[in-house]
Structure 1
Amino acid sequence: MEATKKYNRIIVILSVIIPLAVAGLFGVKLDIDLPVFLPPIYAGINALTAVVLITSFWAIKMKNIVLHRRLMKTAIFLSALFLIFYVLYHMTSDSTSYGGEGIVKKVYFFVLISHILLSIIVIPFVLITFVRGLTNDIERHKKIARITFPLWLYVTISGVIVYWMISPFYTV
């Protein structure tokens, strides 16, 4: 029980600090040219994370717990890597405006806004689900994983859709 309290404090702290840090770092502009254009890289990481999440879901349905755990650790690593590249891009580049019009623009902003909001909301869900799995609190892990999985999958897939929709408007 004491370990759970410790993890809960860490989860709360990370769930607050991560979005605040990302928002704060958007205001920081570094005058450096990166050797690569990051948006297709972090969109690819998001796509890979979606594949890993789906494969992990399949693994647990096949009762392959070892593979499921490895894949979930990989998904968390990929999400952290995505976040680093995403923040680095926005610290070194100006934001790109979406140039589409009409219904496509409305769809873009719906996907973008839902992606951003759910990417914040999913943080504590991912962390709680992960901790419950690590601590073998399996029944509670399964219960929250039913919520976490579709949220996290939506965030990864919608991130790729946002990239795909805005990519024609990037200036490199």
Structure 2
Amino acid sequence: MSKSQEILDEKKYNKLIVILSILIPVVVAALFGVKIPNVEPLTFLPPIYASINALTALVLILAFIAIRNKKIILHKRLMTFAIILSVAFLGMYVAYHMTSDSTKFGGEGTIKYVYYFILLTHILLSIIVIPFVLITYVRAITNNIEKHKKIAKITFPLWLYVAITGVVVYVMISPYYV
């Protein structure tokens, strides 16, 4: 594939990347204000979606190892699986918050500040990582490998941080679930 063809292929996805990068956080934020009446709260979901975050972190690390060992097909499959896991997480996370009241963190002192720092950075980076993941993925599927490698060096640690801190936030707040 020629360089100009790679650029054209990549440009086809740019509008979709922009739309999804804006739409996903806006829709998630809007759905936080929606409570489905007369529905049993989905209180069983937080440990499941925390486990999905842990699995996502593991898959990201395995994908990193795979590409370092030049196992390109395995890397592609693992990265696609990581995206599927992230979408599953997001669906469960939104479903939980549409049926359940938010849990307040009950810790006091220094741990409270640590928790809110981790939570805030997790939320902000989970928004910021969306376009990075999409751009990185598009550059891979359009065979723009040099640009893919450059942005993957930024995307990987951001996405891994979001996945790991999702688990940490759950572990820290789980004693306060009703």
Shorter-normalised TM range: over 0.9
Secondary structure, aligned partner of 1:63: coil
How many residues are paired up? 171
Q: 1:16 corresponds to which residue?
A: 22
Q: 1:109 corresponds to which residue?
A: 116
Distance (whole Å) between structure 2 residues aligned to residue 35 and residue 80 of structure 1: 18
Query: Among residues 144, 149, 152, which one is paired with 1:142 in the alignment?
Result: 149
**How far off is 1:148 after superposition?**
0.1
Alpha carbons of 1:144 and 1:91: their partners in 2 closer, same or farther (altered >3 Å)? same
What is the TM-score with the length of structure 1 in the denominator? 0.97
What is the TM-score with the length of structure 2 in the denominator? 0.94
Q: 1:89 corresponds to which residue?
A: 96
Distance (whole Å) between structure 2 residues aligned to residue 129 and residue 3 of structure 1: 14
Distance (whole Å) between structure 2 residues aligned to residue 111 and residue 35 of structure 1: 24
Query: Among residues 84, 87, 99, which one is paired with 1:80 in the alignment?
Result: 87
One-letter identity of the residue aligned with 2:135 = I
Distance (whole Å) between structure 1 residues aligned to residue 157 and residue 151 of structure 2: 11
Query: Among residues 119, 125, 138, which one is paired with 1:118 in the alignment?
Result: 125
Q: 1:157 corresponds to which residue?
A: 164
Query: Among residues 48, 57, 64, which one is paired with 2:55 in the alignment?
Result: 48
Q: Identity of counterpart residues, as a percentage? A: 67
Q: Give unpaired runs (5+ residues) of structure 1.
A: none
Secondary structure, aligned partner of 1:99: coil
Secondary structure, aligned partner of 1:164: helix
Distance (whole Å) between structure 2 residues aligned to residue 35 and residue 98 of structure 1: 19
Distance (whole Å) between structure 2 residues aligned to residue 15 and residue 151 of structure 1: 15
CA RMSD of aligned residues (A): 0.9
- CA deviations 1:42-77 (Å, max 9, x no partner) are 000000000000000000000000000000000000
Distance (whole Å) between structure 1 residues aligned to residue 42 and residue 165 of structure 2: 26
Secondary structure, aligned partner of 1:128: helix
Distance (whole Å) between structure 2 residues aligned to residue 2 and residue 64 of structure 1: 27
Alpha carbons of 1:98 and 1:34: their partners in 2 closer, same or farther (altered >3 Å)? closer
**How far off is 1:34 after superposition?**
4.9
**How far off is 1:35 after superposition?**
6.3
Q: 1:30 corresponds to which residue?
A: 36
8 Å Cα contact 2:43-2:96 kept in structure 1: no
Distance (whole Å) between structure 2 residues aligned to residue 124 and residue 11 of structure 1: 6
Moved over 4 A (4+): none
- CA deviations 1:109-128 (Å, max 9, x no partner) are 00000000000000000000
